[in-house]
Amino acid sequence: MVSTCIQNICCIGAGYVGGPTMAVIADRCPNIQVNVVDLNESRIKDWNNSDLSKLPIYEPGLDEVVERARGRNLHFSTNVKSAIENADMVFISVNTPTKSKGVGAGKASDLRWVEACAREVAKYSKKHTIVVEKSTLPVRTAEVIKSILSSAQKEDNKHDEPKTFEVLSNPEFLAEGTAIKDLENPDRILIGGENISAVEALAQIYGQWVPNENILRTNLWSSELSKLTANAFLAQRISSINSVSALCEVTGADVNEVAKAIGTDTRIGSKFLKSGPGFGGSCFKKDILNLTYLCRHFGLPEVAEYWENVVKLNDWQQERIARLVVQKLFGTLAGKKISLLGFAFKANTNDTRESPAIMIAKRLLEEGAELAIYDPKVEGYQIKSCLSDTTLNVNNANSNKYTVNNDGRWGSAEDIYSSLKGADAALILTEWEEFKNLNWSEIAPIMRQPAWIFDARAIANQEAIKAAGLNIWRVGDGSE
């Protein structure tokens, strides 16, 4: 099969996706020069830090991959122009958040950074360039990118060797916390495109470590839409099990037992059935909202409503956990200390984007609580930036916002024990390994009695908590 051999890659965007993805490509393809560029100087400085514990992203195994490839064929810089000029293939891996104002505010993706990248590629590229959409994009975005690139092509046709472009869609399915594992051993690689030679050029890169049968080729639009659909399906499972968790609590059932019972049916499968404080992370909510925006745009309001409910249920789960804490602590949090264990949206990452902890913490602060927040990977300044936005989204699917009147205060705790000292309650929000086997008989005496443990991840040792004389609420547990 005819395909272009790629020797030089540029990736625009050195974030959670661009950094790890390019590090793995560089590691697996030592003959390809990989230049990761970003406008954010401090992020690039951190990627170049000789102390690998200071990389801008925490991902298990990332430091080792970066150590092997950096300086050899993996380079991080802010020089976007030169990286594009030299590239045979440019990955666009920039942020695509939900629009905060204007047409489609609260739902549509803000494509300004993607458009800026397309314009930069149009301006600086010098030869045939394959442009790869790595960011998650609304279906038919490739049309926008193509139209920007083709204008540059027309302007350039005076040269002997005019610049030419192909656009591919290659969405990323990695999950944070397991990014390196997911990249090194992906369930599948998805490539959407019209030009076989361009598709095969990209397939050849992944083919260095991914079996060919796991590299799926589709048309552009199927590829773009598959990414949004995959995230919508995953989020839907979480909202489904969380809806059942509430029912378990009032009927005497246990959500973990129900999840196991249904998950052993191979048609349902056991993954993504863990009930918790709701899904967080930068993508599930934004991608579903984007999907619903597209549905309405294409005249499918019933389909939009169907998916909107996944987000509504997620907001409700967070809201109900916050309300439950207030209710169990005699209806008021004024003058009470609550230890928040975990602030990241999931374990093994320092990412706090859309973390359920943010909404829940704001609610508790509003009730006058004093929060002592401990997370092994999230720094105080990061928590501060999350909590300093005093607006709270209520029912995000409709993008209503109201202002929180924070009566309480918070501090970030150095360690678990200082967070728990004198606390009336502990609320476990992230499933960090170190929260699973805490010594509750040692903890009970340092808390103010009667004390509660709210286990929103169902990870703590319930028997040990009870034996230590502490009250316990566990998500989805109706046995009490």
Closer residue to ligand UGA in complex, CB, 113/417: 113
The reply on whether position 80 binds ligand NAD by CB under 6 A is yes
Q: What distance, in Å, lies between the first and last C-alpha atoms of the chain?
A: 64
Shortest Cβ distance from residue 17 to ligand UGA (Å)? 8
Closer residue to ligand NAD in complex, CB, 147/439: 147
The reply on whether position 272 binds ligand UGA by CB under 6 A is yes
Which residues lie closer than 8 Å to 348 by C-beta, 6 or more apart? 58, 59, 60, 176, 177, 178
Q: Does residue 278 come out as left (phi exceeding 0), alpha (psi in the -120 to 50 range) or beta? A: left
Binding characters for ligand NAD, 107-146, by CB under 6 A (x = yes): ------x--xx-----------------xx----------
Closest residue to bound ligand NAD by CB:
15
Q: Is 186 helix (H, G, I), strand (E, B) or coil?
A: coil
Binding segment toward ligand NAD, per CB under 6 A, in 91-99, 251-259, 298-306, 459-467: 91-99
The reply on whether position 276 binds ligand NAD by CB under 6 A is no
The reply on whether position 173 binds ligand UGA by CB under 6 A is yes
Closer residue to ligand UGA in complex, CB, 238/413: 238
Site for ligand UGA in 350-369 (CB under 6 A): none
Shortest Cβ distance from residue 145 to ligand NAD (Å)? 13
Active site residue 227: yes
Q: Is 467 helix (H, G, I), strand (E, B) or coil?
A: helix
* Amino acid code (one letter) for 340: L
Closest by Cα among 183, 145, 137 to 294: 137
Exposed e or buried b for every residue in 448-460, given b needs 16+ CB within 10 A? Answer: eeebbbbbbbbbb
The reply on whether position 234 binds ligand UGA by CB under 6 A is yes
**Cα 225 from Cα 253, distance rounded (Å):** 37
Active-site annotation holder among 172, 367, 370, 431: 172
Active-site annotation holder among 10, 117, 248, 283: 283
Site for ligand NAD in 10-49 (CB under 6 A): 12-18, 37-40, 43
Token pair listed for 172: 């990323």
Please choose which of ligand NAD, ligand UGA, none residue 444 contacts, taking the beta carbon within 5 to 8 angstroms, the exact cut-off set by kind: none
Please choose which of ligand UGA, ligand NAD, none residue 344 contacts, taking the beta carbon within 5 to 8 angstroms, the exact cut-off set by kind: none
Q: What is the CA radius of gyration of the chain?
A: 24
Q: What does the CA dihedral 14, 108, 348, 454 come to, rounded to 10 degrees?
A: 160
Closest by Cα among 281, 279, 277, 285 to 354: 281
The reply on whether position 316 binds ligand UGA by CB under 6 A is no
Site for ligand NAD in 155-194 (CB under 6 A): 172, 174, 176
**Cα 147 from Cα 278, distance rounded (Å):** 39
Active site residue 283: yes
Shortest Cβ distance from residue 178 to ligand NAD (Å)? 10
Which residues lie closer than 8 Å to 9 by C-beta, 6 or more apart? 22, 25, 32, 33, 34, 35, 87, 88, 89, 90, 91, 205
The reply on whether position 175 binds ligand UGA by CB under 6 A is yes
Exposed e or buried b for every residue in 278-293, given b needs 16+ CB within 10 A? Answer: bbbbbbbbbbbbbbbb
Shortest Cβ distance from residue 294 to ligand UGA (Å)? 16
Q: Which of 21, 136, 318, 350 binds ligand UGA (CB under 6 A)?
A: 136
The reply on whether position 280 binds ligand UGA by CB under 6 A is yes
Q: Which of 14, 191, 273, 444 binds ligand UGA (CB under 6 A)?
A: 273
Active-site annotation holder among 107, 146, 227, 336: 227
* Amino acid code (one letter) for 204: Q
**Cα 373 from Cα 363, distance rounded (Å):** 14
Exposed e or buried b for every residue in 35-58, given b needs 16+ CB within 10 A? Answer: bbbbeeeebbebbeeeeeeebbbb
Which residues does the annotation mark as catalytic?
Answer: 172, 227, 283
| Chain residues in the site for ligand UGA (CB under 6 A) | 136, 172-176, 231, 234, 238, 272-274, 276, 279-281, 283-284, 345-346
Residues that bind ligand NAD (CB under 6 A): 12-18, 37-40, 43, 80, 93-96, 113, 116-117, 135-136, 172, 174, 176, 282-283
